[in-house]
Amino acid sequence: MPTLFDPIQLGDIAAKNRILMAPLTRGRSTNEHVPTDIMIDYYRQRAGAGLIITEGTGVSRLGLGWPNAPGLWTDAQVEAWKPVTEAVHEAGGKIVAQIWHMGRLARPDVTGLTPLSSSVTRAPYHKPENPYAEARAATIDDIRQAQDDYAVAARNAIAAGFDGVQLHGANGYLIDQFLRDGTNFRDDDYGGSPENRIRFMREAVEAVIAEVGAGRTAIRLSPNGETQGADDSNPEAVFVPAAKALNDLGIAFLELRELGTTGSFGTSDVPKLSPKIRQVFKRPLILNQEYTYELGEADVESGLADGIAWGRKYISNPDLAERFRVGAELAPDNFKTWYTPGPEGYIDYPALEAVPAQ
């Protein structure tokens, strides 16, 4: 039976273990979405993961509505990523860029543009002052442009030294807005039936594969429950066929963020779909959300998952894989510094002193 510490081949990427670093928005780039020098240290410190998946990285100005998140659509951004990927590789790690179009969640106060979505909708917000604007419904030309933006960002990622890319198809962002019948009200080839709602995702993945190859292409989905106002009346009917389509495209891996009935970062009573997705997706399947080491090891041993991605635990435990290996206590993180500029709460969490395995 495999364990979390066994190596795994994720498409063309040879990972030294099955402990992945999940994408984490941290807001340390410039106002022009250019990575900064402290990001070199941040990612280098976490190179003990089998694979690092970067924070969401914008594919275009229209698609990136989060302040100080990085991008991959300008030459300056590409150049600034190069020392990051080089540092991770020098430390023995592998790293892929998560390429991100936020759709209706791209804030106009950041982009200066009217957001794009599958349909004319406005995302809800947890405070009375909603920073999101009513999105315009994508035309066919808009759809082609967005898919091309993913492809260009993927090409730029490889030029920047990344080992591959992961399309962000989860958490209510653009791909998710097309997938779900709670946000997609189209009556053309991109709306209505599950097959039609899957089309935007499939074509975006195909565009990326055409640029960088299937073995360096992955995607993240969040099949069960509501996230940021995006929901579906029958998620099994759309996400299981979506996973089958991704399997047939031969992608490197599929990551699922699945909500549980309890948790500190979203909950849902909608059953997890990973067991049914496992039946149709025969390539590496990575699971994420609220995992302890013990639960992760159990799901890998059982064959439900091929690896586990941890996010927030990596904030304050840059050597998380080693801490798991030796059974060390995990350090707590400080929520107040998740998104603040500067090194505090970013690169100042210490690693363990060298200790023997138990």
- Name the phi and psi angles at 153, rounded to 5: -60, -40
Token couple for 111: 């982009």
Catalytic site residue from 43, 173, 314, 349:
173
Instruction: Give me the residues paired with residue 14 across strands.
Output: 9
The set of residues, in sequence order, having a beta carbon less than 8 Å from that of 99 and lying 6+ positions away, is: 57, 59, 72, 150, 153, 154, 157, 165, 166, 167, 168, 208
CA dihedral 34, 39, 43, 44 (to 10 degrees): 120
- Per the annotation, the verdict on 43 as an active-site residue is no
Instruction: Give me the residues paired with residue 229 across strands.
Output: none
Distance, CA of 11 to CA of 352 (rounded, Å): 31
Q: Which helix (H) or strand (E) holds 276?
A: helix 274-280
The set of residues, in sequence order, having a beta carbon less than 8 Å from that of 275 and lying 6+ positions away, is: 304
- Residue 207 burial class via C-beta count within 10 angstroms: exposed 0-12, middle 13-18, buried 19 and up: buried
* Amino acid letter for position 34: V
The residue count of the chain comes to: 358
Contact between residue 190 and residue 200 where contact means Cβ atoms under 8 Å apart: yes
Instruction: Give me the residues paired with residue 53 across strands.
Output: 96
User: Strand, helix or coil at 332?
Assistant: coil
Catalytically active residues are 173
